[in-house]
A and B are shown apart, each in its own frame.
Chain A
């Protein structure tokens, strides 16, 4: 598949701080999730591909065209910034129609597009209220509306789900998925794994300005096999339990949690550990209250990969 957005050896620094370090990435049609903790470099990457910043090193193109100081390219790009910022003294309708003027549409088309976009984000009935008076969720939605009102081929959303209530999140996730079915390219960032997981299986993990891993979720899950699994066992006698596993070579590390009742085990062979644990419990009669493994969710994969 052809890359819609192509970044090659992209580096960006702010004084002595490295924002992005030698990042090469090709974004294809469909939804791509950019995942990383705050300060990882997601927003820097998005600002570079939307021409808000220019790279110190490397190149970035959208549909083969450079973006820095190339206004033509923005006819096909919709960008939703992360920051909760607006021209506050206007209504949602005025905000949208005002920004749509910058695409050269006729007044009737501006009105039509603004109405459609506000309708999509469920703000039609609040369109005449000042943005200043919008709730956080409404502000987030009007921000998305301005990104899609001109029907762009590429939609870039920086933390679009942040601040939304569960219902708002669900609606926006559905909307973003609809973009995909309409054949658009969507690049969406988040620091919350379940949000990205709900949107797409194609994810790019970013940390400390670098791409840590990229691929679909099964691929990312495979990566975890190179890292030890963490399993917590809460028991009436965690020390006796630990003693039974001391000679086990598959165990990398054992620690006791602060509550004094939980043994935390790190192992490469999770299934073997569970097999032995069952035997120990049965043989020694040690009471196990709870077994949990943070590795069972994607968050753990992410945390391992970023070295937390």
Chain B
């Protein structure tokens, strides 16, 4: 089979398998947290739509950007290779007439779509619950699509990075945790160009909501604190570049490396 067809078949198989796992059920339930929060915030801030926009960016997007997509990408991305090795099911894949990069790309695509579906459901519910009073404003839908796009790009970039980690390391989850919740959390608050060494910097640069100049914005401004944004075009290119580079590395390594099962 040629590579595109192989990718498609791997994608189909693992998208189907991915939906069945307990991991997916747990993470889908986790996605209900912002929905519950949104309901609470909506009740508390009833009638204050400006505050609601700030709260969404400052609190719920913190959850989405700095926790939900990171934890999803960490567990699904590292598992692209690692679960096959740990569960010893890799033999079923690499003894088929499939180019090895197709296994990585197909599984990556399947898991990325699965994660995107979970994030999209969670975001849709929480966003529209919070903005229920503004449903007639066309701008609201553009904002929603921007958020969705940012999270989608985040999933692509983070998952590619964690797929690479899972391909190269045996205990990728641990290193991934340090990266996702250590490095990414700390480096983004560094001034100057240092923060550009994080994925989250480019994601935050794409957020539609920005605090008012000089005032630091309403709310706690946690998400946008010390952000020195990169331009939209550059941020998108950087995220796509990060995703493509780490995926290419993962494919190359997976092709060259042999995986031994632990006895």
Question: Interface stretch among A29-37, A86-94, A197-205, A225-233?
Answer: A86-94
Residue of B nearest to A89 (CB): B20
- Contact assessment for A71 and B99 in the assembled complex, using a CB-CB cutoff below 8 Å: yes
Residue of A nearest to B259 (CB): A52
- Contact assessment for B95 and A79 in the assembled complex, using a CB-CB cutoff below 8 Å: yes
Q: Known interface pairs A53-B260, A90-B20, A103-B1. Does A71 touch B87 (Cβ–Cβ under 8 Å)? A: no
Residue of A nearest to B100 (CB): A69
7 smallest beta-carbon distances between A and B, as pairs? A102-B96, A89-B20, A85-B88, A79-B95, A101-B9, A104-B1, A81-B91
Q: For residue B98, which residues in chain A have a CB less than 8 angstroms away from its CB?
A: 71, 74, 102
Shortest Cβ gap from A191 to chain B (Å): 15
Q: Is there a chain A Cβ closer than 8 Å to B225's Cβ?
A: no
Q: For residue A81, which residues in chain B have a CB less than 8 angstroms away from its CB?
A: 88, 91-92
- B74-109: CB near A (< 8 Å → 1, else 0) gives 000000000000011111111111111000000000
User: On chain B, which size bracket covers the interface?
Assistant: 20 to 34
Bound Cα distance from A50 to B6, whole angstroms:
19
Bound Cα distance from A64 to B90, whole angstroms:
25
Bound Cα distance from A99 to B260, whole angstroms:
22
Q: For residue B17, which residues in chain A have a CB less than 8 angstroms away from its CB?
A: 87, 89-90, 98
Q: Is there a chain B Cβ closer than 8 Å to A137's Cβ?
A: no
- Contact assessment for B92 and A69 in the assembled complex, using a CB-CB cutoff below 8 Å: no
- Contact assessment for A75 and B97 in the assembled complex, using a CB-CB cutoff below 8 Å: yes
Q: Which residue among B21, B88, B94, B259 has the maximum number of chain A CB atoms within 10 Å of its CB?
A: B94
- Contact assessment for A83 and B88 in the assembled complex, using a CB-CB cutoff below 8 Å: yes
Q: For residue A74, which residues in chain B have a CB less than 8 angstroms away from its CB?
A: 95-98
Q: Known interface pairs A52-B258, A81-B91, A83-B261. Does A99 touch B20 (Cβ–Cβ under 8 Å)? A: no
Q: For residue B1, which residues in chain A have a CB less than 8 angstroms away from its CB?
A: 71, 102-104
Q: For residue A42, which residues in chain B have a CB less than 8 angstroms away from its CB?
A: none
User: On chain A, which size bracket covers the interface?
Assistant: 20 to 34
Q: Known interface pairs A83-B261, A87-B17, A104-B1. Does A99 touch B92 (Cβ–Cβ under 8 Å)? A: yes
Bound Cα distance from A70 to B10, whole angstroms:
18
Q: Is there a chain A Cβ closer than 8 Å to B16's Cβ?
A: yes
Bound Cα distance from A263 to B21, whole angstroms:
61
Give 10 new A-B contacts, CB below 8 A, not counting A71-B97, A71-B99, A103-B96: A50-B91, A52-B258, A69-B255, A77-B95, A81-B88, A81-B92, A83-B261, A87-B89, A98-B17, A103-B1
Q: For residue A54, which residues in chain B have a CB less than 8 angstroms away from its CB?
A: 258
18 A–B pairs (Cβ distance < 8 Å), ordered by A: A51-B94, A51-B95, A52-B95, A52-B259, A53-B260, A71-B1, A71-B100, A85-B87, A85-B89, A87-B89, A94-B16, A99-B96, A102-B1, A102-B13, A102-B93, A102-B98, A103-B1, A104-B97
- Contact assessment for A79 and B97 in the assembled complex, using a CB-CB cutoff below 8 Å: no
Residue of B nearest to A102 (CB): B96
- A185-218: CB near B (< 8 Å → 1, else 0) gives 0000000000000000000000000000000000
Q: For residue A140, which residues in chain B have a CB less than 8 angstroms away from its CB?
A: none
Bound Cα distance from A94 to B16, whole angstroms:
10
Q: Is there a chain B Cβ closer than 8 Å to A267's Cβ?
A: no
Q: Is there a chain B Cβ closer than 8 Å to A61's Cβ?
A: no
Q: Is there a chain B Cβ closer than 8 Å to A262's Cβ?
A: no
Bound Cα distance from A101 to B10, whole angstroms:
8
Interface residue from A50, A86, A90 paired with B95 (Cβ < 8 Å): A50
Residue of A nearest to B257 (CB): A54
Q: Is there a chain A Cβ closer than 8 Å to B219's Cβ?
A: no
- Contact assessment for B21 and A89 in the assembled complex, using a CB-CB cutoff below 8 Å: yes
Interface residue from B13, B16, B92, B100 paired with A146 (Cβ < 8 Å): B92
- Contact assessment for B20 and A52 in the assembled complex, using a CB-CB cutoff below 8 Å: no
Q: For residue A77, which residues in chain B have a CB less than 8 angstroms away from its CB?
A: 95
Q: Is there a chain A Cβ closer than 8 Å to B134's Cβ?
A: no
Q: For residue B20, which residues in chain A have a CB less than 8 angstroms away from its CB?
A: 89-90
- Contact assessment for A71 and B260 in the assembled complex, using a CB-CB cutoff below 8 Å: no
Interface residue from B12, B13, B97, B100 paired with A72 (Cβ < 8 Å): B97
- A56-80: CB near B (< 8 Å → 1, else 0) gives 0000000000000101111101010
Shortest Cβ gap from A145 to chain B (Å): 12
- Contact assessment for A101 and B13 in the assembled complex, using a CB-CB cutoff below 8 Å: yes
Residue of A nearest to B95 (CB): A79
Shortest Cβ gap from A90 to chain B (Å): 7
Q: Is there a chain A Cβ closer than 8 Å to B5's Cβ?
A: yes
Bound Cα distance from A52 to B95, whole angstroms:
7
Q: For residue A50, which residues in chain B have a CB less than 8 angstroms away from its CB?
A: 91, 95
- Contact assessment for A52 and B100 in the assembled complex, using a CB-CB cutoff below 8 Å: no
- A84-128: CB near B (< 8 Å → 1, else 0) gives 011101100010001101111000000000000000000000000
Residue of A nearest to B102 (CB): A71
Bound Cα distance from A146 to B93, whole angstroms:
11
- Contact assessment for A71 and B96 in the assembled complex, using a CB-CB cutoff below 8 Å: yes
Q: For residue A83, which residues in chain B have a CB less than 8 angstroms away from its CB?
A: 88, 91, 261
Bound Cα distance from A50 to B100, whole angstroms:
14
Interface residue from B12, B16, B91, B99 paired with A52 (Cβ < 8 Å): B91
